[in-house]
A and B are shown apart, each in its own frame.
Chain A
Amino acid sequence: MTAPAAATPPPIELIGLNKWFGSFHVLKDIDLRVREGERIVVCGPSGSGKSTLIRCINQLEKNQEGTVRIHGRAYGASARENDAIRRDIGMVFQSFNLFPHLTVLENCTFALTWVKQTPKREAEALAMEFLTRVRIPEQARKFPLQLSGGQQQRVAIARALCVRPRIMLFDEPTSSLDPEMINEVLDTMVELAQSGMTMVVVSHEMGFARKVADRVIFMDQGEIVEEAAPEAFFTAPQFDRTRLFLNQILHG
């Protein structure tokens, strides 16, 4: 550990993470350290604990053992402190989870109003800026369910970005989309990656992983089995489990 690294603590640090659902051991001794601006893609078979892992990062799930530190701050002191830490992290869900009774614009300004205490006009201007970035400013006055799946997911990305998080988590953002809509969402994510955002993405989109990931992590049965740069990961996986999995998703 060198001095400069200690001066700027890493955005995400998971140390000795263990989690159980009842008697079921979902996460086993997870250690993970994500550098500033690093893009990580997590993959692995269904039920291997990928969602649980990234939900531990913003504490939507609580880990029973181990430490989660965000920019050097550990969760657990108080609910208020946890909320403050969480505000640095945006999250995009597989099922969008937009608020259906609010317009697209209101979805984006909601947290600005109630969390960041931003004046209405400023909040709307900011929301429009991000809606423009995900290329749907013209849908601002519509309701989420009036949009296509791809458009909804882009609104969800804009909504998460509005509060200016320094870390973005994506849990299978494209797996509930029709094939023709996947690319519009991935393009948005690629642009975000190019802007230098720290990202952890659970995804089986291997094209995306090759294009933007700094590291690919393979999980199986609650463990991190293998982690490597995308090129090495896809061309020369070290473990049989990884090879089996890659065969399945590439040729299955």
Chain B
Amino acid sequence: MALMDSTATPGAPARYAAFFNNATVRSVFYQVLTLACVVGLIGYLVANTIENMSQRGMSAGFDFLGVSAGFGIGFALVPYQEGDSYWRVFVVGIANTMLVAVVGIVLATLLGLVVGLARLSSNWVISNVARWYIEILRNTPLLLQIIAWYFGVFTLLPRPRDSLGWFGGFFLNNRGLYMPAPVPGDGFALTLLAVAAGLVGAVLFARRAQAIREATGRIVPTAAPVLGLALGLPLAVFFVTGAPLGWDNPQLRGFNFVGGLNIPPSFCALIIALSIYTSCFIAEIVRAGVQSVSHGQTEAARALGVPPGRTMRSIILPQALRVIIPPLISQYLNLTKNSSLAIAIGFPDLVSVWMHTSLNQSGRAIPIVAMTMGFYCLVSLAVSLLMNQYNRRILIKER
């Protein structure tokens, strides 16, 4: 518009010059140019690949997903049989990977928290044990640790007959860990219902307590009632309905155990190595978070007469968590991606059953690699999206 409105009547070359000197015009121009180059390059690569593949009789299509895969998988979280389709194999791989990720994240967090707090301890022995734990384990390659746990510990365990046993229901041998499997009986659903009701009740109670406090100033103790609702209510319902939960204990039959839950050695080794390795990084994150809150904060609260528990909950923790959570989440992502090292000890995670076995057997490299990358990419993107939301919400406002 500005060009049209200008009262001066510059000649054509001058007008072109003005047009190209406009910042918006120029930036759009370069963006279009870049986009064109990228699209052209991708188009060239795709055309080239398709031509090469068709020359060798390979197909890039996804039609093989419905075909029966025809190989067995040693450990599957979701039901799987040998005749199932490749698509099913993909799902099994994802489920197994997610299982490793979730269990690993929980254990690594607990362990990291303990080691991180130990590192902060004023006791010389404790803080130094924690320090060496961290220094040694995070500076050794993870693959080495996984292999060490698998071949150095779990495959060297005794045969099932000579299992190490605890409490009559837990057995450890070279086929892995056996433990009792819960068998929900009639009416167990009521207990599950009570869990949900208890959680809702706890939230409502906490809200009510806050409303009372704001209206009258009275501080209603919430810790005991919230715990009672969240834990006590389900327990009470469980016992009132006659404890409708049985246990299927593993039994030694001949050379092996039957019944119960079996956790294969590869899963045990992978989980232990992943959680220990990641816990070192988490410990350092926890330490940095706690140390980031200056002692002045505690002193200011103390000078105001605020009780220590309230200071911890409302002053120290919220500030420490701001520092802890972002790098913590990125460690969770690392753990999830590192779980693909499972292939080294034959645990059937996504990379192992999909990128390795399925790819070798079907030869569909492009779709299989694309789907695997797509999965990891999707997880990472989803997490970083949540992360950004969180960061924006908790940002401490400064000038």
Q: Which residues of A contact B (CB under 8 A)?
A: 58, 60, 83-84, 86-87, 89-91, 93, 95, 97-101, 110-111, 113-123, 142-143, 145-147, 159-160, 163
B396 touches A113 (CB 8 A): no
B214 touches A120 (CB 8 A): yes
B319: Cβ under 8 A from any A Cβ: yes
Which listed residue (A86, A97, A101, A146) contacts B300, Cβ 8 A?
A: A97
The smallest beta-carbon distance between A57 and chain B, in angstroms, is 11
A97-B304 contact in complex given A113-B217, A119-B214, A145-B397, C-beta closer than 8 Å? no
A91 touches B303 (CB 8 A): yes
B135: Cβ under 8 A from any A Cβ: no
Q: What are the residues of chain B within 8 A of A91 when measuring CB–CB? A: 300, 303
Q: List 29 A-B contacts (CB under 8 A).
A: A58-B303, A60-B302, A60-B303, A83-B305, A86-B302, A86-B305, A90-B303, A93-B300, A95-B296, A97-B296, A97-B299, A99-B300, A100-B319, A101-B319, A101-B322, A114-B306, A114-B310, A115-B305, A115-B306, A117-B219, A119-B216, A119-B217, A120-B213, A121-B214, A123-B217, A142-B397, A143-B397, A145-B398, A146-B398
B370: Cβ under 8 A from any A Cβ: no
Query: By the criterion of a CB under 8 Å from any partner CB, how many residues of chain B are at the interface?
Result: 29
Q: What are the residues of chain A within 8 A of B397 when measuring CB–CB? A: 142-143, 145-146
Q: What are the residues of chain B within 8 A of A93 when measuring CB–CB? A: 296, 299-300
Per-residue interface assignment for chain B, residues 310 to 327, with 1 indicating a CB less than 8 Å from any chain A CB and 0 otherwise:
100011001100100000
The smallest beta-carbon distance between B301 and chain A, in angstroms, is 8
The CA of A83 and the CA of B399, in the complex, are separated in Å by 35
The CA of A109 and the CA of B310, in the complex, are separated in Å by 14
Q: What are the residues of chain A within 8 A of B305 when measuring CB–CB? A: 83-84, 86-87, 111, 115, 163
The CA of A142 and the CA of B319, in the complex, are separated in Å by 17
Interface residues of B in 281-335 (CB under 8 A from A): 294, 296-297, 299-300, 302-307, 310, 314-315, 318-319, 322
A159 touches B299 (CB 8 A): no
The CA of A110 and the CA of B311, in the complex, are separated in Å by 10
Q: What are the residues of chain A within 8 A of B300 when measuring CB–CB? A: 91, 93, 97-99
The smallest beta-carbon distance between B386 and chain A, in angstroms, is 20
B218 touches A114 (CB 8 A): no
A100 touches B217 (CB 8 A): no
A99 touches B214 (CB 8 A): no
The CA of A95 and the CA of B294, in the complex, are separated in Å by 11
The CA of A118 and the CA of B219, in the complex, are separated in Å by 9
Q: Which of A97, A143, A146 has the most C-beta atoms of chain B within 10 angstroms of its own C-beta?
A: A97
Q: What are the residues of chain B within 8 A of A97 when measuring CB–CB? A: 294, 296-297, 299-300
Kindly report which residue of chain B lies nearest to residue A88, judged by CB atoms. B305
The CA of A143 and the CA of B395, in the complex, are separated in Å by 11
Q: Which residues of B contact A (CB under 8 A)?
A: 213-219, 294, 296-297, 299-300, 302-307, 310, 314-315, 318-319, 322, 394, 396-399
A89-B303 contact in complex given A110-B314, A119-B216, C-beta closer than 8 Å? yes
B299 touches A110 (CB 8 A): no
Other A-B pairs, 8, CB within 8 Å; known A99-B315, A114-B306, A114-B307: A84-B305, A87-B305, A91-B303, A97-B297, A116-B217, A117-B213, A119-B217, A143-B397
Q: What are the residues of chain A within 8 A of B307 when measuring CB–CB? A: 83, 114-115
Which listed residue (B213, B215, B396) contacts A145, Cβ 8 A?
A: B396
Q: What are the residues of chain A within 8 A of B306 when measuring CB–CB? A: 110-111, 114-115
9 closest cross-chain pairs (CB), A and B: A97-B300, A120-B214, A111-B304, A97-B296, A145-B398, A91-B303, A143-B397, A117-B217, A119-B217
The CA of A90 and the CA of B294, in the complex, are separated in Å by 20
Q: What are the residues of chain A within 8 A of B217 when measuring CB–CB? A: 113, 116-120, 122-123
A143-B304 contact in complex given A110-B314, A114-B219, A119-B216, C-beta closer than 8 Å? no
Q: What are the residues of chain A within 8 A of B218 when measuring CB–CB? A: 117
Kindly report which residue of chain A lies nearest to residue B219, judged by CB atoms. A117
The CA of A115 and the CA of B399, in the complex, are separated in Å by 31
The smallest beta-carbon distance between B214 and chain A, in angstroms, is 4
B297 touches A99 (CB 8 A): yes
The CA of A99 and the CA of B297, in the complex, are separated in Å by 7
Kindly report which residue of chain A lies nearest to residue B213, judged by CB atoms. A113
Kindly report which residue of chain B lies nearest to residue A169, judged by CB atoms. B303
The smallest beta-carbon distance between B57 and chain A, in angstroms, is 63
A146 touches B214 (CB 8 A): no
A143 touches B398 (CB 8 A): yes
The CA of A86 and the CA of B318, in the complex, are separated in Å by 25
Q: What are the residues of chain B within 8 A of A89 when measuring CB–CB? A: 303
The smallest beta-carbon distance between B397 and chain A, in angstroms, is 4
A114-B314 contact in complex given A101-B319, A145-B396, C-beta closer than 8 Å? yes
A115 touches B304 (CB 8 A): yes
Q: Which of B217, B307, B318, B319 has the most C-beta atoms of chain A within 10 angstroms of its own C-beta?
A: B217
Q: What are the residues of chain A within 8 A of B216 when measuring CB–CB? A: 119
Q: What are the residues of chain B within 8 A of A143 when measuring CB–CB? A: 396-398
Q: What are the residues of chain B within 8 A of A118 when measuring CB–CB? A: 217
The smallest beta-carbon distance between A107 and chain B, in angstroms, is 9
B303 touches A146 (CB 8 A): no
The CA of A117 and the CA of B213, in the complex, are separated in Å by 8
A160 touches B322 (CB 8 A): no
The CA of A122 and the CA of B216, in the complex, are separated in Å by 9
